[in-house]
Amino acid sequence: MHELSIAENIVSLVAEQAERSGFSRVRVIRLELGAFSSVEEQALRFCFGAAAQGSAAEEAELDVVVVPGEAWCLDCNQVVQLAERLAPCPHCGGGQLQVTGGQELRVRELEVD
């Protein structure tokens, strides 16, 4: 379960930022989670609860913004949204797609006290 190591990294990042910026408590952690990131949101939420114990993020709400999958279709030269990584182009049915979005996993912002 790689979600635990991701959750631990988020908590470490928050701790570093707390030390640098001088806040003691985080109310909200807003994450961008790409549809193609291979991270299970529910597992990440569960692991985050465990990893955040005793830290500035202990009572933080994890606000996950899911970024849809996006690709450039080489057949019809369109940027398209995809529900699945290997789905065909919804415009032309072509299969030559280069993924351009939906792989994100980043802390977008923190709301702190």
| pLDDT, tens digit (0-9, with 9 covering 90-100), for 72-100 | 999 999 999 998 989 999 999 999 999 99
Measured distance CA(40)–CA(93) in Å, rounded: 28
Q: Where are the domains of the chain?
A: 3-68+102-112
pLDDT reading at 1 higher than 60: no
Q: Which amino acid is at 95?
A: G
Domain 3-68+102-112: which CATH number of 3.60.20.10, 2.60.120.10, 3.50.50.60, 3.30.2320.50: 3.30.2320.50
| pLDDT, tens digit (0-9, with 9 covering 90-100), for 18-77 | 999 999 999 999 999 999 999 999 999 999 999 999 999 999 999 999 999 999 999 999
Cα angle 99, 102, 105 (rounded to 5 degrees) comes to 130
